[in-house]
């Protein structure tokens, strides 16, 4: 919730990914309103979540989050071990694992730079 308070006001309104109350059909209605285009092709950035660089993402946090405890928590989260075939493994410094509680928020922060 803290990260949402910090980052949501800065995010562009035209971003629809991982945003509450925003979805592809709403984006299509807005596009139609300005262009009369009645269809679109939804795309996917292949390998996006697997290739997010944690140090780059951390630099985006450092610029906005001044509380060292939150930054430490970020590193603990992204570097946490995970279980793979019943063995604990360290996660490398690249990629947002799907299903983690902060995955959507981390993705929004990273995609915001793309939107800008």
Q: How many residues does the chain have?
A: 116
Distance CA 98, CA 82 (A): 12
- Count the neighbouring beta carbons within 10 Å of the beta carbon of residue 109: 20
| pLDDT(74) > 70 | yes
Distance CA 15, CA 116 (A): 10
So what's the pLDDT on residue 84? 65
So what's the pLDDT on residue 69? 92
Query: Which two tokens mark 9?
Result: 């006001």
For the chain, what is the largest distance between any 2 Cα atoms, rounded to a whole number of angstroms?
54
So what's the pLDDT on residue 94? 60
Give the Å distances, CA to CA, from 103 to 47, 68, 93, 99: 14, 20, 14, 7
User: Residue 40: which pLDDT band, with cuts at 50, 70 and 90?
Assistant: confident
| pLDDT(99) > 80 | no
pLDDT tens-digit profile of 11-26? 887 777 667 777 777 8
pLDDT tens-digit profile of 78-97? 776 666 666 666 555 566 66
Pick 13 or 68 by higher pLDDT.
Answer: 68
| pLDDT(73) > 80 | yes
Relative orientation angle of helices 54-64 and 68-78, to the nearest 10 degrees: 160
So what's the pLDDT on residue 98? 63
């Amino acid at each position: 919730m803290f990260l949402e308070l910090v980052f949501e006001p800065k995010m562009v309104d035209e971003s629809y990914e991982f945003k509450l109350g925003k979805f592809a059909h709403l984006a299509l209605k807005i596009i139609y309103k300005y262009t009369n285009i009645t269809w679109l092709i939804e795309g996917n950035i292949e390998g996006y979540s697997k290739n997010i660089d944690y140090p780059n993402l951390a630099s985006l946090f450092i610029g906005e989050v001044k509380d060292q405890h939150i930054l430490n928590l970020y590193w603990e989260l992204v570097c946490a071990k995970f279980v793979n075939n019943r063995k604990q493994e360290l996660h490398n410094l690249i990629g947002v694992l799907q299903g983690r509680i902060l995955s959507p928020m981390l993705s929004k922060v990273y995609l915001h730079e793309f939107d800008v």
